Structure 1
Amino acid sequence: MEATWQQLCARLGTKYPIMQDGMGPSPTTSLATAVSAAGGLGSVSTPGLLTPEAELRKKLRDRMEQVAVNGAGSFAVNVPVGTLESGEMLPASEACIDEAIRVKLAGGPTSDHFRAITTSAGFPGAFTERIKEAGLLHIHKAGSVRHAVKAAEAGVDVVIASGYEMGGHTHLNPVSTMVLAAQAVKELDVPVIVSGGIHDGYGLAAMLAMGAAGVAMGTRFIATEEHEWHHNYKQFIVDAGEWQDMTYPGYYAPSRGLKNKALLEDLPAKKASGVSIDELNQWKEDRGYDAQMEGDVENGIVVAGQVSAAIHDIVPVAVLLERMMDEAIGLLEVTAASLPALKAARA
């Protein structure tokens, strides 16, 4: 009988049960290409939630084509579908899902390598039927058991159980990865991928032993050689210590980043100045670009997870994936070898 992770890898067309999480606002195209080529599931991120629609559609389509041509493996497209304080969904969410489905239905090499749409930040039910009818897997990220169950009941194919310690948009009500993951695996009939604090083979082995179908990582993949974000950003993660992360107001819910002048001084001052929500969101998106593409890690917003304190090197993606698999296999072999003693202890 195939394990859950084997079944999901077969459906996604990947070699390893390792997924790259969506990130932004800057491109993750080179990273997704490298992850795809190395046997994982790369993710093309939404090209800026405040980008004009025509430009956004073209950027997304171009990035999907680049990953398909150069990665030669499978990839997903990540789209946040949360609502703003006004209750409205950003038009970019609808446009990205629509454009991604158009690419899938058009056929050809890009369509062949494009296997899934990942949604996050809100209830995905409005999109599930369209995504699945296009021949794509619908993967949805949830930060609580109740939201995971609700997404599964709405028909999503796979749930990412994401712990509160994750980087980027996180959850209003904190539930850590180890508390959430086990419950999600037990409660859901669909495959569960786990994210939040995963960065090595130890995390992968733990999640596979728990019955998860794989892991997803964002922060760990930032600190890789192929990722197109600025070296300063990667080094800031490598140099981060414990307690350097913090949450701050994101588009939909709290976001997690690393403490610097932008988050500790500039963001509070900007909010106190009385600017509109739209102006504040644009400021945050611009500061994200400044850190990610220009390398300004003091005045720019450095989005990253709590796991930054555990990351100590910048490595090629293929090396990272092989190292994770070697570690996980070694740990699971040791665990399997100890089973007779564990059983004997119960006798």
Structure 2
Amino acid sequence: MSEAGGLGTLSSPTASGAADGARELRAAIDECAGLTSRPFAVNIPVDDRGHDPAQSFTRTFLEVVFQARAADSAVASQLRAITTAAGDPGAYVAVIKDNELVHQHKVGSTRQACKAEARGVDVIIASGAEMGGHTHARPVHTVVLGPNVTEAVDVPVVLSGGFRDGRGLAAALCFGAEGVAMGTRFIASDANTEWHPNYARALLDAQEGDDITYPGFFGPVRGLRNHGSDLLATVMNDGLAGASLHEWKLAAMRKAQAEGDTVQGLVLAGQVAGALTEIVTVAEFVPQMTRDALQILADLARRLPVAHATSAS
């Protein structure tokens, strides 16, 4: 993604314990820095369960980022941003700023966007309810949320949820955003080298209405309706809860992502999966998406004065 001109983002390994996860994240940072000379980011969920912020897994993973940048000036020049999500970022704003990183925070409502801006974050990622993976308990679709958030805050806004091509990017710019963030689109791409090919095939086979939301780890998640999602409902109805349910979900996600069992496993994906038809090559797709958006906006700029003159006459 970074090589193509986007901001590639590493996910933190929240499925692991803090110590194992810290080692995994550091290895991933070093590997990523060795594969590109361009900027990239790290995504770290906010541990918002009443823990002391200094002892949270969020702070543990932030320290990994800080140490990696301090140990290597090349990494410091590339690892430029932290994206937080799933909780209140307030306890971590100062330390992220002190380490000279851009702080992006993902929100699902205008209220959350205003709160994050007041906390001091640099960029808002406003994610509509149609996004894949962790979504929001009070769903607001991107076409409504985007303009609401860009009107309400003064910091730059990036929109997420439902985007797949230059048309969406042009729309986001019209909503007042600076750009878009995409996840599901890039699972079905040559950039997806870690998840099983069956996962991407499941996205391409999905039709409109094949998505469903079900309980995740920080809130509801959106994925594809399959036997795995039915099984989740069954085990929860049978009383599976707490740590056992947590482990069941992780195993079901690994079954789809690593083993390619997209029937029994949980397939996280956004509604946009129902619109995807091909595996794209990121190096070609990202710059073409930008060119398409600019062409759309230029075409609209040429057409609108004519339409106005015609209606006036």
Change (3 A) 1:83 1:282: farther
Q: Secondary structure at the match of 2:258?
A: helix
Q: Residue 23 of structure 2 aligns with which residue? A: 58
Check conservation: 1:38, 1:321, Cα contact below 8 A.
yes
- Is 1:312 aligned with 2:264? no
Q: Residue 142 of structure 2 aligns with which residue? A: 177
Task: Give the unaligned 5+ runs of structure 2.
Answer: none
Residue 259 (structure 1) shift: 0.7
In 2, the alpha carbon distance for the partners of 1:69 and 1:346 equals 59
Task: Give the unaligned 5+ runs of structure 1.
Answer: 1-34
Check conservation: 2:47, 2:57, Cα contact below 8 A.
no
In 2, the alpha carbon distance for the partners of 1:208 and 1:92 equals 35
- Is 1:232 aligned with 2:198? yes
| Aligned ranges 1:84-99 → 2 under 5 Å | 87=50, 91-99=56-64
Q: Residue 83 of structure 2 aligns with which residue? A: 118
Q: Residue 341 of structure 1 aligns with which residue? A: 306
In 1, the alpha carbon distance for the partners of 2:227 and 2:20 equals 31
Residue 50 (structure 1) shift: 3.3
- The letter for the 2-side match of 1:252 is F
Q: Secondary structure at the match of 1:313?
A: coil
- Is 1:36 aligned with 2:2? yes
Q: Residue 244 of structure 2 aligns with which residue? A: 279
- Is 1:70 aligned with 2:35? yes
Q: Residue 255 of structure 1 aligns with which residue? A: 221
Question: Taking every aligned residue pair, what percent have the same amino acid on both sides?
Answer: 43
In 2, the alpha carbon distance for the partners of 1:148 and 1:142 equals 6
| Aligned ranges 1:132-281 → 2 under 5 Å | 132-228=97-193, 229-264=195-230, 266-281=231-246
Listed one character per residue, the Cα deviations across residues 66-93 of structure 1 (whole Å, up to 9, x for unaligned) are 1111122111000111535xx5589433
Change (3 A) 1:101 1:343: farther
In 2, the alpha carbon distance for the partners of 1:273 and 1:130 equals 44
Q: Secondary structure at the match of 2:100?
A: coil
- The letter for the 1-side match of 2:263 is E
Residue 323 (structure 1) shift: 2.6
Change (3 A) 1:329 1:235: same
- The letter for the 1-side match of 2:209 is W
In 2, the alpha carbon distance for the partners of 1:308 and 1:155 equals 34
**What TM-score, normalized to structure 1?**
0.85
Check conservation: 2:163, 2:169, Cα contact below 8 A.
yes
Q: Secondary structure at the match of 2:2?
A: helix
Give the 4+ runs in structure 1 shifted more than 6 A.
Answer: none
**RMSD of aligned residue pairs (Cα, Å):** 1.7
Check conservation: 2:47, 2:56, Cα contact below 8 A.
no
**What TM-score, normalized to structure 2?**
0.94
Deviates more, 1:67-76 or 1:253-262: 67-76
Residue 102 (structure 1) shift: 2.2
Listed one character per residue, the Cα deviations across residues 172-202 of structure 1 (whole Å, up to 9, x for unaligned) are 1010000000011111100000000011100
Check conservation: 2:5, 2:287, Cα contact below 8 A.
no
Residue 163 (structure 1) shift: 0.2
Q: Residue 104 of structure 1 aligns with which residue? A: 69
Aligned length in residues? 309
- The letter for the 2-side match of 1:178 is V
Change (3 A) 1:61 1:152: same
